[in-house]
Structure 1
């Protein structure tokens, strides 16, 4: 019976099959046009069933260069037969599924040169890939010189076309190595693009880079799965699962690409309807990504082509529309850089559905896709460079504005004491509002030039301004050095505030007086020069700091009886012919009182006070007033020399005095003051 079957097989194979002759001078044959195929709709027929009924089974002649039955018979066993007559000296030939990506099953049946029945499959009995060092199914065959009938059983869940070739071993090895090299080159180029875009994204906040990085990142696994690397990456996954992963990554990649398109084209800015359509398209793609695992491969595979083609037409229609309507440079760049992409996938789609009879080599599709990705990357770079130029111009303008603002703020600080703004717990003056206030214990210092009206009569108005500005400009830094600030200039004087302690205000008063003394010393030989005399009043207590005025005009100020009393204490200097007076409230808060020469001069009834206020004088180097202080004669001699401007002798006597009375704190204070004055004199002369 077997002999009869084999004889029948020989007879009918010669009748129905076109023979493929293998010659020595040819190393590669496309065998699509030599194929006959039969679709087993039951998926029940075995090899022996086909072989025993070869004359009864209605095989159809394949007329194309590749076997592509579309989606109609996806998931069904397709039996393929053809005859090979080996007229070459080569016994070893390879049947290579050259363009096949990841068929679910491919089985080969034939008799080798030793007349042995050979059965080879790309899957093992559990449905896992058999590793053969290739990313696509291929079979090593041993042909004799007689006619060999070859039967193939092919099953593809998503109906990928099956272009078959027969190659010599040398040609197969060469093509296999070349394929791996091309894939490595493409993956390397994509990784290079990815790193390039990552590097550029670090120098800019441009969102297009980030979205494109995601697109390139997803493309790498999608590419590997689509071109059969799944069986190498996941050897323990069944073919049906690998196919689902391939299709899901394809959906996901197009989702990321459409997101990139929406970002790059600025659809949200130019056309919100387009933007919402793309968002809906992306959401559909995400749903299909996860739905793939619960759908049949032929349905999911068909969906990828529809989704891809529909999405591309949609995106590039929008791009062309925006290009013409809004003259958007981004849209024009995107449209031009995507032309290879549109052409490639349009041809792939129409070929896949059998609209045209054409086989697209893998390298061509990949080359077009690679060109598209490179062009898009360059288009983003071009766009970002344009943005950089705009940003540089904007930055220059911002720097100019910043300089103006800094200058404005610096100028504004000269009009408003920012210490007051800080005390109101405001970061800057823009946060202040009418009525802001805070209560705080402070020391208030008033300074006034004695008899300034008489002094000013000798000067022109312009000279008056110059004099006052010069005088106040020299006094104000001393206040800052002692942790205070000038709150208000009042004609020929000012009011200063001290947050920390009374000691700061007292030391400041001494140094203000010393500054005037040095000024008078330097001007003593000028013709018609009148020495400047000042009066200083100090008082401590609670004050209310805040913003007063109207909605259109405001100013920062300090309001309290403490301020009024400080002003009246300063005016008492005229009565006592003194320079520095303190109220009892400041005197009580002053630590280390014996560091200064201080005496009580009076109990004064001051308007607004229900009782008399003790007034204290801080010695002002006036020789006539020394008799009022309980000090040694040696110290009086020091003051005498100091007032005669004999600074060296005064300093020498003061050093001797300190050696004799080391516990005299006021002597130490005077030593510090004298040294500072001598330093000022050295820089002034």
Structure 2
């Protein structure tokens, strides 16, 4: 117990010392020398103050008496839950130690949705607002700075957001900034081009096949594409469009919810969860219904309440995370069922997660150029989209194979049925022919029937008929002198002679009675 208390005291003391060291750390100004630098990172040269009252003005924060309230810029502190729904003030100083005036661009380290940054320059006459290039539709939150020779200038940045303002600022030479933007748009063009090509390709297949799966895939790709458009702040790069932080933030949150919703919907369809994993399918249906409260939270204003803003972010991020995790678990379970499309679906999810992990590592370790680091999430999503398209194609091939197999089975069954029908018809014909030997066709005509099969018990017809009885004289005496075979031959020879004569005269034989016959003729004798 003493050890636990001792460790807690050590941790608390270390935390206080660390916090004190951060708050007491002196932030030095950025010094511009004659050395050729194209890019200056302001992260270690900035101070911040979080205004929880949302009432401070630029004159308040630039007052000398307020200067001591600024603390060194702390990215983790800015993201703290208590600082959601924040108004933040940033301050930095630049010292130009050269004999020339220096012209630089103040810009964020990567494009994002926060657009309402306002910059001020401290002058002997008070703070002066710096006009952003946003009004000229060149870039969002891009400010031109002119630093005079052998001088130290102080600048302030101000913004408000219901979330947290994840960003740091850089100073760039205009020529380097232009090259950086060319590289950025080249990479973005590749990424957005891949997504648009997948959308158009899938749309063509859907119009041709009318398969609902491709429509869900198009919705999935388009949702992810729009989410990245919002995250990159591309709408504000269009001429005449400046979208405020509030609209960007809530529309971005809404698209994240929709991405999770569409991910679940697409996973259910392509993984055939209802067939292979019904219990997980039930959980995925619950997630689909939970999109309603998540959507409400995405559009719900914070009402200047940090806790409400934090709950809103927590709801949205958890909904998206659970949707992705549940889809991955479903893919793993279906892979064990031997369903081939699930393998490609799972591969896409794994690639995306690995790239996201590499992105976070690279973000803090600076392993790659910034233009690549901040595009890694979309690279992961593009690869995931491609693998999902392959999974969809494999699924379609399996469906086609099943259809071809079914068609072959149907054709085989039809052939078998045709043969059975032929045999049945042949047997029917033989049966009718056999009956015809004992039931003359003329009887069918008299009864107005086409076949012996059409005759039912009680069928009758009334006509005037002449009846002929004929037999052999002394037939019994004749047979006593013959053997059985000779008797049969004799009687059959006789009947073969008499039957054609009866029919020749429009009669019909009704009965054979040993050596006698009973014949009928229509009309009177």
Tell me if TM exceeds 0.5: yes
Which string of whole-angstrom CA distances, capped at 9 and with x for unpartnered residues, describes residues 101-135 of structure 1? 112631101158x999541476xxxxxx9544346
- 1:605/1:187 Cα in 2 relative to 1: closer, same or farther (>3 Å)? farther
Which residue number in structure 2 is paired with residue 152 of structure 1? 157
Quote the Cα distance in structure 1 between the aligned partners of 2:264 and 2:177: 39
CA contact (8 A) 1:70 1:160 kept: no
Which residue number in structure 2 is paired with residue 133 of structure 1? 137
Q: 1:557 aligns with which of 430, 433, 454?
A: 454
Secondary structure of 1:149's counterpart equals strand
How far has the Cα of 1:82 moved from its partner? Answer: 1.0
Which residue number in structure 1 is paired with residue 11 of structure 2? none
Q: Within 5 Å, give how 1:275-424 maps onto structure 2.
A: 275-296=281-302, 298-324=310-336, 326-345=337-356, 361-409=373-421, 412=424
How far has the Cα of 1:152 moved from its partner? Answer: 0.6
Secondary structure of 1:382's counterpart equals helix
Q: 2:193 aligns with which of 182, 188, 193?
A: 188
CA contact (8 A) 2:340 2:394 kept: no
Which residue number in structure 1 is paired with residue 91 of structure 2? 81
* Higher RCO (C-alpha 8 Å, min separation 6): 2
How far has the Cα of 1:97 moved from its partner? Answer: 1.6
Which residue number in structure 2 is paired with residue 213 of structure 1? 218
- 1:316/1:134 Cα in 2 relative to 1: closer, same or farther (>3 Å)? farther
How far has the Cα of 1:310 moved from its partner? Answer: 2.7
Q: Which moved more, 1:219-228 or 1:245-254?
A: 219-228
Which residue number in structure 2 is paired with residue 270 of structure 1? 276
Which residue number in structure 2 is paired with residue 604 of structure 1? 523
**RMSD in angstroms over aligned alpha carbons?**
4.5
CA contact (8 A) 1:537 1:580 kept: no
Which residue number in structure 1 is paired with residue 69 of structure 2? 58
> What runs of 5+ residues in structure 2 fail to find an aligned partner?
1-24, 303-308, 469-499, 509-520
Which structure: larger Rg? 1
CA contact (8 A) 1:105 1:121 kept: no
Does residue 32 (structure 1) correspond to residue 37 (structure 2)? The answer is no
How far has the Cα of 1:361 moved from its partner? Answer: 3.3
- 1:365/1:218 Cα in 2 relative to 1: closer, same or farther (>3 Å)? closer
How far has the Cα of 1:160 moved from its partner? Answer: 4.1
Quote the Cα distance in structure 2 between the aligned partners of 1:349 and 1:309: 16
- 1:494/1:94 Cα in 2 relative to 1: closer, same or farther (>3 Å)? farther
Secondary structure of 1:82's counterpart equals strand
Quote the Cα distance in structure 2 between the aligned partners of 1:402 and 1:202: 33
Secondary structure of 1:105's counterpart equals coil
Quote the Cα distance in structure 2 between the aligned partners of 1:248 and 1:103: 16
How far has the Cα of 1:376 moved from its partner? Answer: 1.9
Q: 1:45 aligns with which of 56, 60, 69?
A: 56
How far has the Cα of 1:151 moved from its partner? Answer: 0.7
Which string of whole-angstrom CA distances, capped at 9 and with x for unpartnered residues, describes residues 453-487 of structure 1? xxxxxxxxxxxx9xx99xx9xxxxxxxxxxxxxxx
Secondary structure of 1:26's counterpart equals coil
How far has the Cα of 1:331 moved from its partner? Answer: 3.7
How far has the Cα of 1:36 moved from its partner? Answer: 0.9
State the TM-score, normalizing by the size of structure 1.
0.55
Q: Within 5 Å, give how 1:570-585 maps onto structure 2.
A: 577=504
> What runs of 5+ residues in structure 1 fail to find an aligned partner?
1-14, 123-128, 418-464, 473-487, 496-534, 547-554, 582-601, 607-685
Secondary structure of 1:310's counterpart equals helix
Quote the Cα distance in structure 2 between the aligned partners of 1:560 and 1:257: 70
CA contact (8 A) 1:108 1:150 kept: yes
CA contact (8 A) 1:230 1:242 kept: no
Which residue number in structure 2 is paired with residue 101 of structure 1? 112
- 1:287/1:232 Cα in 2 relative to 1: closer, same or farther (>3 Å)? farther
Which string of whole-angstrom CA distances, capped at 9 and with x for unpartnered residues, describes residues 69-116 of structure 1? 24431222111111123457573311112324112631101158x999
How far has the Cα of 1:259 moved from its partner? Answer: 1.7
CA contact (8 A) 1:309 1:346 kept: no
Which structure dedicates a bigger proportion of its chain to helix? 2
Which string of whole-angstrom CA distances, capped at 9 and with x for unpartnered residues, describes residues 8-52 of structure 1? xxxxxxx95422234552212221121111111111111111111
Aligned residues: 443
Quote the Cα distance in structure 2 between the aligned partners of 1:259 and 1:56: 53
- 1:320/1:375 Cα in 2 relative to 1: closer, same or farther (>3 Å)? same
